[in-house]
Amino acid sequence: MIKKKYFKALVAFLFVCQSVFSQVDVVYNDLVWSDEFNIDGPLDANKWFHQTQIPAGGSWFNNEVQHYTNRLANSFVANGNLNIVARKETFTDQNVTKQYTSARLNSKFAFTYGRVDIRAKVPNAQGTWPALWLLGKNINEDGGFFDQNFGTTSWPACGELDIMEHGIFPNQPINYIGAAIHTPSSFGNTINKGGIQLNDINQNYHIYSMNWSPNQITFLLDGVAFYTYNPAVKNASTWPFDADQYFLFNIAMGGFAGTIPANFTQASMVIDYIRVYQNTAVDTIAPTNFTASIGTVTGTSVQLLMNAVDNSGTVSYTITYPGGTPVNSFYPSGLQNAVVIPSLIPNTNYTFTITATDLAGNVVSNSPIVLNATTTVNPQCGGFDTQAIEGTFNLGYNYTFETIGTDVKVTFTLLDPKVGLVAFLRRQNPFSETQMTNVSGQTFTQTITGQTIGSTITYAVKFAFAGGLAVTRFVSYVVGSNCTLGTIEPTNFTQICYPNPVDDILYLQLHDSQNKITLVDVIGKIHLSTTVQSEHTLSMGDFKPGVYFLRVENSLGSQNLKVVKK
């Protein structure tokens, strides 16, 4: 339990970390709403509402089996913590009898954009589904706090933001927590989700955070980002997140959380605090030190490098050019922003107009800056991609290969903002890694000497940074040629499973965000068939020792990986 007298120091520390790691596009500094749960007894009725009304049909959604109550037995404040308790007990309410009770809390506070920090211990008992999440204030859900006055929109059109969920990921081990986005474009088993493996969610506090701006939504664990949602097209289908959302805290029982053991008695979610930050002060100071230049140019793309400084911590850049759709980019103050304009015509001159403002709309004094660039004759002298074979990329990366005599100069630029960034050129066969030279900003280069004209080389780049790493796809290039750059070698593309041989947990690193996997034994018996994300874990502890084959099907085609169970 963090003592409340250290509150200001902790807030300062968290926001220093937030700025240092540059994991979010907007830094929110002003505390606008919180509950420290300092007064023992019932929850603060000015801040929280107990949602107890059963949906039509007499059962909660997702085949859950609990009653939600407003009793102190299921939700109370003690010793500076909110306790939400799921219990095994026979309970009758609204003429329906159930065998489990819990609590489902609605905040009476709703907001648009900001930073959320929730410090909590989370139950990991089988059959429990603890969640810290948000719904659109406009949701039409009978019994919800805002429904009577604002409920005009059905789910998922109202939007749902899941900061933390546990217990509903059957293909993941215990203590795996997930974050997810539900919109009309993807909901239910949504593709817009991320997760991270822990080992102590029930024993120790962790800080579950969400940073929500007009541009993107980033989920963080203990100050480190692990998933960002930023759809290229933002409309009612993909982005119902330009209106107020409110908080829900609950523990559901059964349903998607699986079978509840017969010996279950109770489980608690313990919440130390919830804090919401926004930027409330009126900003009248415009950005300064605005610069813009041309970066890497290929036959079909132009990279624009921009920088400016603003007291708000964030600069908004707008790029326009004839015949193109305006490009908007939010970026941390004082850091170089590299934006690639794709889908251009080879051997064509383009004029780019770049403006810089802060989030309040204050325009920098030397804005706009106008730049000219001519795309190269051959469109395959460089490329742009967002795919990764390890980790993930948000904005992506661009690359060029250039033959100089018998040497090949390889240049990669990471577009995602990172701090403490280093890059390693990874050769595919035989495998090796060499640290690259930083040219400027997030651009790195390495010259491969003594190559044979006409031979094919295949390389990727590993970007390592504070809080993690990400590896690009392998790119094949014919030395001395301007024609074959940018081709990926599917037959040589490495999809990884490790450790192998495996005793318990098998880790998978696959190509696509959605991959069909099938696990069979040597006689062809299917033990598992499902669809998983690029990073996944399989529990092999209960499998008999022997040889298995993991078939992976994705955009590369199909690949069989041999797995040895010890």
Active-site annotation, residues: 160, 165
H or E element at residue 357: strand 349-357
Cα separation, 391 vs 70, in Å, equals 43
The C-alpha atoms of residue 87 and residue 125 are separated, in whole angstroms, by 12
Is 33 in contact with 111 (CB distance < 8 Å)?
yes
Spatial contact of 271 and 82, defined as CB atoms under 8 Å apart: yes
Length in residues, the chain: 566
Tally Cβ neighbours within 10 Å of residue 80. 16
Q: How far apart are the first and last CA of the chain?
A: 42
Residue type, 280: T
**For residue 43, which of 35, 55, 54, 51 has the smallest C-alpha distance?**
35
Task: Specify the 3-state DSSP secondary structure of 411.
Answer: strand
d(CA 48, CA 41): 13
Q: Which of 104, 130, 80 is nearest to 247 (CA)?
A: 104
| Alpha carbons 244 and 258: distance in angstroms, whole number | 32
Q: Which of 132, 60, 140 is nearest to 100 (CA)?
A: 60
Which has the closest alpha carbon to 176: 224, 130, 211? 130
Residue in the block written with tokens 């008999």: 544
Cα–Cα distance for residue pair 496/508, rounded to 1 Å = 6
How many CB atoms sit inside 10 A of residue 560's CB?
Answer: 11
How far is it, in rounded angstroms, from Cα 100 to Cα 96?
A: 12
| Three-state secondary structure call for residue 19 | helix
Alpha-carbon distance of 135 to 156, in angstroms, equals: 9
Please state, in angstroms and rounded to a whole number, the distance separating the CA atoms of residues 418 and 335: 9
Residue 237: which of 192, 178, 193, 189 has the closest Cα?
192
Q: What is the DSSP track for 281-300?
A: SPP-PPPEEEEEEEEEE-SS
Task: Determine contact, residues 540/549, Cβ cutoff 8 Å.
Answer: no
| Euclidean distance between CA atoms 339 and 316, whole angstroms | 12
Query: Phi and psi (nearest 5°) for 181?
Result: -120, 130
Give the strand pairing for 397-404 and 407-414: antiparallel
SS (H, E, C) 186-213: ECCCCCCEEEEECCCCCCCCEEEEEEEC
Instruction: List residues bridging with 427 in a β-sheet.
Output: 432, 459
Q: Is there a contact between 531 and 514 (Cβ–Cβ < 8 Å)?
A: yes
